[in-house]
Amino acid sequence: MFDFIEISGGRELSGEILASGAKNAALPVLCATLLCSEPVKITNVPNLEDVNLCLRLLDTFGAETGFNNGIVEVSVPSLKAAEASYSLVKALRASFWVLAPLLSRGGAARVALPGGDIIGARPVDMHLEALGKMGAEIKVKNGVVFATAASGLKGAEINFRFPSVGATHQVLMAASLARGTTLLKGAAREPEVVALADFINAAGGDIEGAGSDTIVIRGKEELAGANFSLIGDRIEAATYLLAAAASGGCVTVAGVNPLHLRPLPDILLQAGCDIAVGRDKITISSQRRLKPLKVTTAPYPGFATDMQALLMAALTIADGVSVIEETVFEGRFGHVAELCRMGANISVRDQVATITGVECLSAAPVEALDIRAGAALVIAALAAEGTSRIYEIQHLRRGYERLEEKFSSLGALIGKRLSDPEDYLLTGC
Per CB under 6 A, residues contacting ligand UD1 are: 24, 27, 94, 120, 122-127, 162, 164-167, 188, 192, 305-306, 328-329
Output the smallest distance, CB 362 to ligand UD1, in A. Answer: 30
The answer to whether 335 and 308 have CB atoms below 8 angstroms apart is no
| Spatial separation of the C-alpha atoms in residues 225 and 297, rounded to whole Å | 37
Query: In sequence order, what are the beta bridge partners of 250?
Result: 14, 285
CB 263 within 8 A of CB 304: no
Of 132, 169, 128, 175, the residue nearest 155 (C-alpha): 175
Q: Which lies closer to ligand UD1 via its Cβ, residue 90 or residue 288?
A: 90
- Using CB atoms within 10 Å of the CB of residue 142, give its burial: 0 to 12 exposed, 13 to 18 middle, 19+ buried: exposed
The residue sitting closest to ligand UD1, measured at its beta carbon, is 166
- Kindly tell me which of 127 and 389 has the beta carbon lying closer to ligand UD1: 127
Q: How far apart are CA 193 and CA 25, in angstroms?
A: 8
DSSP state, 89? H
Percentages of the chain per state (helix, strand, coil), in multiples of 5 = 35, 30, 35
Of 50 and 392, CB closest to ligand UD1: 50
Q: Which is nearer to ligand UD1, 27 or 76 (CB)?
A: 27
Between 165 and 275, whose beta carbon lies closer to ligand UD1? 165
- The CB-of-366 to ligand UD1 minimum distance in angstroms stands at 21
Helix (H, G, I), strand (E, B) or coil at 326: coil
To ligand UD1, the closest distance from the beta carbon of 289 in angstroms equals 28
CA distances from 140 to 91, 94, 213 (A): 20, 18, 29
**What minimum distance in Å lies between the beta carbon of 393 and ligand UD1?**
18
Its sign, for the CA torsion 49, 54, 58, 64, is: negative
Least distance in Å: CB of 164 to ligand UD1?
Answer: 3
- Least separation in angstroms between residue 121's CB and ligand UD1 is 6
Of 48 and 165, the one with the shorter C-beta distance to ligand UD1 is: 165
Left (φ > 0), alpha (ψ -120 to 50) or beta: where does 402 sit? left
Q: Give the residue with the Cβ less far from ligand UD1, 102 or 318.
A: 102
Smallest separation, CB 287 to ligand UD1 (Å): 30
